[in-house]
Amino acid sequence: MTDYSHLITEIPDFPTPGVLFREISPLLADINARDEIIQKIGVFIREKNIEVIAGIDARGFIIGSLLAEKYHLPFVMIRKAGKLPTNLTIEESYTYEYSEATLTVRGEFLKEKNVLVTDDVLATGGTLAAALRLAERSEARKVYWAVLLELTSLWWREKLREFEIFSAIQYN
């Protein structure tokens, strides 16, 4: 696959001092790059017999809904707390690079399915771990992960090595 790392804008000290934010808008705006990435993830989808796409609020919705539409799969939203009725959801709280958050999902859509969770960036793995716990608590059969950008120098892979992850771009 073509190296599209030049389409990622690095913004220092955003959203807090000391954080180097990777902005994916130029990548999404490049039709050829976006199409090639969607096709490569499509190979992963077929290999893993994915039955449902679950996108994480908010940027995971972009890649997830593109994949769900192209490969004719259901799309499930993993939302931030307070965005879905609590009587219909399960929730999972976690800590990530610079804050804490809670994710929620309507778990019945994941039950007994092979699930591909999508997000924009994989950094320290806090969001990944929370989404995986939500899918497991929803009784998903098998859970996989697809991201546009993976920060390989961070510690998450050691903790979560049993999960298969597709990443379009890797930063060291």
pLDDT in tens, the chain (172 residues): 899 999 999 999 998 898 888 999 999 999 999 999 999 999 999 999 999 999 999 999 999 999 999 999 999 999 999 998 888 999 999 887 677 889 999 999 999 999 999 999 887 788 888 998 999 999 999 999 999 998 877 666 666 666 788 999 988 7
59 is catalytic: yes
Q: Using alpha carbons only, how large is the chain's radius of gyration in Å?
A: 15
- Give φ, ψ of 82 to 5 degrees: 85, 0
**What gap in Å lies between CA 101 and CA 15, rounded to an integer?**
15
Q: Which of 22, 34, 92, 97 is catalytic?
A: 97
pTM, whole model, 2 decimals? Answer: 0.93
Count CA atoms closer than 13 A to 79's CA, side-chain side. Answer: 15
Q: Which helix (H) or strand (E) holds 37?
A: helix 31-47
Q: Does residue 128 contact residue 156 with C-beta atoms inside 8 Å?
A: yes
Domains and CATH numbers, the chain: 40-171 (3.40.50.2020)
Q: Which of 22, 34, 59, 79 is catalytic?
A: 59
Per-residue tokens: 137: 């608590």
Give, as one character, the DSSP assignment of residue 123.
Answer: S
